[in-house]
Structure 1
Amino acid sequence: MKELKDTQNERDDRQLPIDRVGVKGLRFPIEVRDKGGSVQRTVAMAALAVDLPEHYKGTHMSRFVEALNSHGGCLDVRSMAALPRELLAKLDASRAHVEFQFPFFRSKAAPVTGKPGMMDYEVRFEVEAERDGPLDFIVTVMVPVATLCPCSKEISDRGAHNQRGVVTYSVRFREPVWIEELIDLVERSASCELYSLLKRPDEKAVTERAYDNPVFVEDLVRNVASRSEAHEEIVWYRVEAENFESIHNHNAYAVIEKKLG
């Protein structure tokens, strides 16, 4: 076969390095082991990138997909962690970044009747590697919760307004932390956790639980932060909460980010 011109390796004279270049929006099957020891098969939206020195015109996009598919038809967490170093070698880069975001499911029993229902959460793994440097691994969980307004409860003669919110919680760790453990930490920090299936006795219970545990969005992020700082494996966290207000046409928002130790 006639050798084809390698345009990507041509020289670029604009003297502008690129921080990240690669592929994103690529769906790929993955396997994630849950805390109970089972393997959950799901589908991730993948993004893979490297840095590009100023003298190269482009990167070889096909090599990202080659590296991903070299692990077979389904990727596990260990393979995800190894991918950045493979990209460093395959693309002769000094820094590589991979990201996988996927739905994670767990069965939750209703609080009174015990009826099971499947809850889904969004999870994101981000892994970055530098040549001759350590891996940087960040796990993010996106957890829907219920919050009840302390001010509304205090000033109202009857009831209080509540709303659903989402907490986006990211951590770095010394030793791996289970996804379920991070979800539980967030749900304990809200007025009440959410459920897929609720019968009337369950609905009464969660309504009263939220009423007895009002939290502002500020309380929510502080609760998650306090629990993060008490966790022996977490070395950095970022907690972001957004409440979809039920009596306003805007959302309430708060964030705390902190490196521990």
Structure 2
Amino acid sequence: MPIFETQEETPEIKERLHRVGITNLRTVAKINWKGSVYTFLPLFEVTIDVPAEKKGIHMSRLVESITESMSEAVESEVLEAHSSLEELGKCVIKHIEKKHPHKRAEVWIKTHLVIPRETPASGKTSYEPYDVEVGVIKNYDGSFEKVLRVKVIGNTVCPHAMANNNGKTHIQRAIGELEVRAPFSKEIPLEDMIDVVESSFSNPTYTLLKTVDENTVVQGMFTNPKFVEDVAREIFAKARERFPGKIRVKVISNESIHKHDVIAETWS
């Protein structure tokens, strides 16, 4: 039975597509972080560009190229720990280059980074999870850039209510997001980005808290009241000072006395 390569036909509408590929591909990755090997089960999104004169990509070939790339990596690279998630992403692009022609490619990796923290009073170890995302982009000129994103949970204490209620006020959980877009060669540790966000809230939050820790956290919050705007500005200022590249900050305050939330966002 003949096989018709319909992907090679000329499309009715000739427009270049910048991103075509697969998403929500879960696999295994090992990263050598600070001398210790960590295992991740991240979600991958991998795309390439499609020229205007081509109807589509051979999706099975792309999936095959990803599968073979990951299979080779399982044998020789993924299980041999990489130094960072972005190094792993670039490695995947290099494998795709051998299997499918393209001029532009992207690899996005979403996962969780768990960092041990010491509780503020009892000194116990609390394992704190953080959402992280790493994007590696191969541009049309062959250069590489990366996008690093972290999401951190903290808290805020409203200074306006405090000033108008004899020190009584409302508190809320807040979510801070920091994105840095930079040349691939720039070293930007995800844990440093997390520290920048976490240190900008009224006080950090913890998974494990004994009573003495709870007291310390509450006292810390009330001695450091902040609007969501204050948090966003502080994250941005610290990030701009520490990290090269373009900075984007977004903070959402899950309000406790309103039926809506509050957002503050800025970028360079």
The alignment's TM-score, normalised by the length of structure 1, stands at 0.90
Equivalences for residues 35-184 of structure 1 within 5 A: 36-65=34-63, 66-67=65-66, 68-69=69-70, 70-72=72-74, 74=78, 76=82, 77=85, 78-88=87-97, 90-157=99-166, 159-173=168-182, 175-184=186-195
SS of the equivalent of 2:195 reads helix
SS of the equivalent of 1:159 reads coil
Give the superposition deviation at 1:180.
Answer: 1.4
Give the superposition deviation at 1:130.
Answer: 2.0
**Superposition RMSD in Å:** 1.9
Task: Supply the distance in 1 between the matched residues of 2:225 and 2:231 (Cα, whole angstroms).
Answer: 10
Following TM superposition, where does structure 1 have runs of at least 4 consecutive aligned residues deviating by more than 4 angstroms? none
Give the superposition deviation at 1:60.
Answer: 2.0
Whether contact under 8 Å (1:147, 1:190) holds in the other structure is yes
Task: Supply the distance in 1 between the matched residues of 2:160 and 2:62 (Cα, whole angstroms).
Answer: 51
| Farther-moved stretch of structure 1 (51-60 vs 218-227) | 51-60
Alignment partner of 1:247 is 2:257: yes
SS of the equivalent of 2:245 reads strand
Task: Supply the distance in 1 between the matched residues of 2:181 and 2:13 (Cα, whole angstroms).
Answer: 37
Task: Supply the distance in 2 between the matched residues of 1:112 and 1:128 (Cα, whole angstroms).
Answer: 43
Whether contact under 8 Å (1:141, 1:169) holds in the other structure is yes
Give the superposition deviation at 1:3.
Answer: 6.6
Structure 1 residues 34-62: Cα deviation after superposition (integer angstroms, max 9, x where no partner)? 3x321211111110111111221111223
Distance 1:111 1:64, change over 3 A: farther
Alignment partner of 1:203 is 2:214: yes
Q: Alignment length, in residue pairs?
A: 255
Give the superposition deviation at 1:72.
Answer: 1.9
Unaligned runs of 5+ in 1: none
Give the superposition deviation at 1:194.
Answer: 1.0
Whether contact under 8 Å (2:138, 2:144) holds in the other structure is yes
* Aligned AA (1:39): V
* Aligned AA (2:219): E
